[in-house]
Structure 1
Amino acid sequence: MYDPIFAKSFSRFDRRRFGCFALALSLFVALSISSAFKPTLHPLTLIGDAVSLQLSISAVETMLIGDAIIDNVTAQSEDSAKNMLVINETAAIEPLNLIVTNESVTEPEKKWRNVEPLCRVLKPGADYCEIEGDVRVDANSSTVFLVKPRSYLKLDTNAASDWIIEPYPRRGTGFVKKWTVKVAAEDDGSVPKCGRLHSLPALLFSIGGFTGNHFHDFADLLVPLFTTSFRFKRDVHFLAADYKPWWPAKYRPLLLRLTGSEILDIDRENTTNCYGRLIAGLKFDSELVVADSATSSGASMHKFRQLLRQTYSLDRAIRGGDAAARRPRLMIVSRKRTRILTNEDRISRAAAKLGFEVVSAEGDRSTNLTKFAQLVNSCDVMVGVHGAGLTNMLFLPEKAVLIQIVPLGAIDVFAKLDFGNPAAGMKIRYLDYKIEMKESSLIQRYPADHPVIRDPISIHRKGWGVLREVYLNNQNVTIDVRRFRATLAKALKLLRR
């Protein structure tokens, strides 16, 4: 209470000094009281793929560090300062000092980075998201949450956005579950609490789509998985949606060279998995090609093929050495259902007369991939009608030759996109053999002046379904052996260079 008599006993200067001292004393007392009653904090989320952690022993005594999976963290310390998990994120941009508790993720004012857009569409139509921060994966709602303080969302209204994505390189297949990527406030009641915490980054992708087809297994998943995860050097979790148990089992030896952890069937998870970094979707530019956007990480088709050789014990990286001293080996990729090469035996005899050692093989889902890859790797030339079997060119040694037989129907573009263009990246010489009308079984079903024969583009305009049914599912090939012999001779000449 102010006393005017007491005040008058001091000079103006003395009163001013006394007032400043009293104010300082009041602030000190207030801060002391605040510290005494400060609420205890609980550690909750471990964030970041490359982090410097400052942890008290009491704060982490219940945590499992390494591939830190921390289940239902309940550890509590008597000292509130020891219950705080401080993370210094060592990214290529300005570091963030994040304080993680069971209630929120906070940091100094105005330090949030603008990470928009989280998601974008890559060519030719692949959803791709890169998310950093407090990332929570909730399988029950098929949602990936990026949790931020309410104050941040108020400052940046553009951040509060949702994206509906398909974590598969081809959008609109109809066989891929949609996921939501959502930026949410930490006090939003819909945001689930972390049940399991991970120090490694995560990669969310779908095993739906066209898996089961040998071409799509590699073009849509295995090559993009390699491309996207290469930078992590196996220190990454694979979260597989639309899980098919046989698929990881078939490619397990290769997948274990991409991740050091078991693949998680994310759809069956009943708890919320939390990460400091997550990628949803896969980098994809074109079929059987390592995406240009991944080359900065060191990924390349050359390195992917090295990985295949290591995985499947393939002896030949480059055709050479003893190849010149023996008969070149030619593999004919057989087909039994569609686009059958009806005179395969005659092609074999013609190739043998030119000096090739000929083998025929057909792979399917039950084929032992290691043995089949080793057989392909022993060959110098691969011949086959356009189809998934030509994907096995991946196992050929460099400087080998691929001969693609292109059926009738103006499908040259698809043939080149699927196998012609990728051959260059694999350092495989490529030849195509475009069949003539008389070599197609379609001439037996349609008159010579029918649009199917004379105007294939008009069939293309009716859509992919019609095109596929006419030219891919209902066409066989009978090769003109005399004409095809010239292509075999070209292959032999390439091998002798």
Structure 2
Amino acid sequence: MLDIIDFLTQKVPDYPAEVVRPIYYNLSNSRADVFEIIGNIRIQGNSSTIFVASSLEGEIKSWTITPYARKGDNFVTEYVRSWKIKNHQENLPDCNQQLSIPTILFSTGGYCGNQFHDFTDVLIPLYLTSRRFHGEVLFLVADKRSFWISKYKPILDKLSNYDIVDINKENNVLCFKRMIVGLRAHKEFAIDPLEPPHYSMEDFKQFLRSTFSLERESVTNHVCRTRRPRMLIISRRKNRFIANEIEVSNMARSLGFDVVVEETGWNISVVAKQVNSFDVMMGVHGAGLTNMVFLPQNAVVIQIIPFGAELWAKPYFQLPAKGMKLRYLEYKVSLNESSLLGKYPLDSQVYRDPGAIYNKGFIVYHSVYLNNQDVTLNFSRFREILLKAFQLVQC
């Protein structure tokens, strides 16, 4: 990595004396507002303002943008600083540093710290936005969370050759000729190859395999000739845990799996290598299933869907699994298998109409079906899912 002190003191051509018309590309979509700007650009971090020099009358004077890929989420934007892009003709702040390479401004605020959101809101959009620069791009991080940067440093280092700038604490005026504000985003935990820049989730998985030196690219159909197929059961402790987890793991072993029951750890490099060694990964709907990005192609993902939580299951993990060339199975928990049974009157809307609870807002829905529900799996029903998984990865 090139130290930022050395980088900022490199000799670069002076900006032209005359102010020319900047070029704006609006890359916005339903999930994110994104601007790419080419011109005389000056960013003042401590005022959250980007100045773009222009001498032409009648142009739009300013925009406000929240550089986090969860557009329309009013709750999360309270934790992400907004930035102003101002089209100025005069009174521009003087440049303290002039930089010759492109830069990308994005936020690690919002829901960062939840692994699912780490990937769907930041890492996948950052890959989509920065990969074309082949490392020759500088990251300006707003709402910087040091633990987040440390955790995902291998990915960030693979995308940029330069040290990250904590732009909120930057007192100098940094000047660029090309800047992207915000991150491209397509779908939840997914990439649409039909949309620019025409990458795919398989491209992203290949990028991760290279980043973490993962050995297994694909699961073959001849696993059992050399070993028992390996299954990872993602354990949970705070909520949505499998109450009969030990019994379920023993049943999987009796069917022929080599089973590991474990909570995934903090060290993403260790987790990536661990998950890549499995043929089947299963867990209750939650952030732990995000680790499917490290599974080899043709591995099996089993999502256990808590009662009432189907609304989140398909977009968050079912559809993304297909884009990653993984085989997907799901198990829908019945009310009799849920700890919700008995918490509410028998005619409660919680049991009758989860969609109506969802319409009351995310916080209400989440508190009922996700934060306060554990599951006890029915052996005879769940055995069928395990048998299907075994058939998919055995000879």
Give TM-score scaled by structure 2 length: 0.92
- Equivalenced residue count is 385
1:275-307: CA deviation from partner (whole Å, max 9, x where unpaired): 1111111111112212547654x5322222122
Distance (Å, rounded) in 2 between the aligned partners of 1:480 and 1:183 = 62
Aligned residue for 1:442, secondary structure, equals: coil
Which gives a bigger RCO, structure 1 or 2 (Cα 8 Å, sep 6+)? 2
Match of 2:83 in 1: 179
Aligned residue for 1:444, secondary structure, equals: coil
Among 127, 142, 151, the alignment partner of 2:48 is: 142
Distance (Å, rounded) in 2 between the aligned partners of 1:352 and 1:253 = 35
Distance (Å, rounded) in 2 between the aligned partners of 1:322 and 1:250 = 35
8 Å CA contact 1:134–1:276 kept in 2: the answer is yes
8 Å CA contact 1:68–1:197 kept in 2: the answer is no
Distance (Å, rounded) in 2 between the aligned partners of 1:459 and 1:207 = 30
8 Å CA contact 1:342–1:478 kept in 2: the answer is yes
| Displacement of 1:320 | 2.1
Match for 1:381: what amino acid?
V
Match of 1:131 in 2: 37
1:44-87: CA deviation from partner (whole Å, max 9, x where unpaired): xxxxxxxxxxxxxxxxxxxxxxx9735899xxxxxxxxxx95xx
Among 185, 192, 204, the alignment partner of 1:304 is: 204
| Displacement of 1:162 | 1.2
8 Å CA contact 1:72–1:194 kept in 2: the answer is no
Match of 1:369 in 2: 268
Is residue 379 of structure 1 aligned with residue 295 of structure 2?
Answer: no
Is residue 390 of structure 1 aligned with residue 289 of structure 2?
Answer: yes
Larger radius of gyration: 1
1:231-259: CA deviation from partner (whole Å, max 9, x where unpaired): 11111000000011111111111111100
Give the CA RMSD over aligned residues: 2.1
Match for 1:482: what amino acid?
S
Match of 1:428 in 2: 326
% identical aligned pairs: 43
Structure 2 gap ranges (5+): 1-5
Is residue 320 of structure 1 aligned with residue 220 of structure 2?
Answer: yes
Match for 1:478: what amino acid?
T
Distance (Å, rounded) in 1 between the aligned partners of 2:219 and 2:256 = 17
| Displacement of 1:322 | 6.4
8 Å CA contact 1:72–1:196 kept in 2: the answer is no
1:71-110: CA deviation from partner (whole Å, max 9, x where unpaired): 899xxxxxxxxxx95xxxxxxxxxxxxx703xx434xxxx
Distance (Å, rounded) in 2 between the aligned partners of 1:340 and 1:469 = 15
1:361-393: CA deviation from partner (whole Å, max 9, x where unpaired): 1125xx222222212111111110000000011
Following superposition, which runs of at least 4 residues in structure 1 exceed 6 angstroms of deviation? none
Is residue 122 of structure 1 aligned with residue 29 of structure 2?
Answer: yes
Aligned residue for 1:408, secondary structure, equals: coil
Give the alignment of 1:25-104 within 5 angstroms. 69-70=8-9, 100-101=16-17, 104=18
8 Å CA contact 2:68–2:121 kept in 1: the answer is yes
Distance (Å, rounded) in 1 between the aligned partners of 2:221 and 2:153 = 32
Match of 2:3 in 1: none
Aligned residue for 1:338, secondary structure, equals: coil
Distance (Å, rounded) in 1 between the aligned partners of 2:105 and 2:267 = 28
Distance (Å, rounded) in 2 between the aligned partners of 1:421 and 1:183 = 41
Distance (Å, rounded) in 2 between the aligned partners of 1:338 and 1:184 = 52
Match for 2:370: what amino acid?
L
| Displacement of 1:451 | 0.8
Among 277, 289, 314, the alignment partner of 1:416 is: 314
Match of 2:234 in 1: 333
8 Å CA contact 1:139–1:269 kept in 2: the answer is yes
Give the alignment of 1:220-235 within 5 angstroms. 220-235=121-136
Aligned residue for 2:70, secondary structure, equals: coil
Aligned residue for 1:307, secondary structure, equals: helix
Match of 1:405 in 2: 304
Match of 1:288 in 2: 189
Going from structure 1 to structure 2, the CA distance change for 1:71 and 1:427 (only over 3 Å counts) comes to closer
Distance (Å, rounded) in 2 between the aligned partners of 1:123 and 1:462 = 22
Going from structure 1 to structure 2, the CA distance change for 1:321 and 1:433 (only over 3 Å counts) comes to closer
1:129-183: CA deviation from partner (whole Å, max 9, x where unpaired): 111111111112201111112xx2x2xx1x2331111100013311100101111
Is residue 237 of structure 1 aligned with residue 132 of structure 2?
Answer: no
Aligned residue for 1:274, secondary structure, equals: strand
8 Å CA contact 2:223–2:394 kept in 1: the answer is no
| Displacement of 1:119 | 4.3
8 Å CA contact 1:132–1:277 kept in 2: the answer is yes
Is residue 105 of structure 1 aligned with residue 19 of structure 2?
Answer: yes
Aligned residue for 1:384, secondary structure, equals: strand
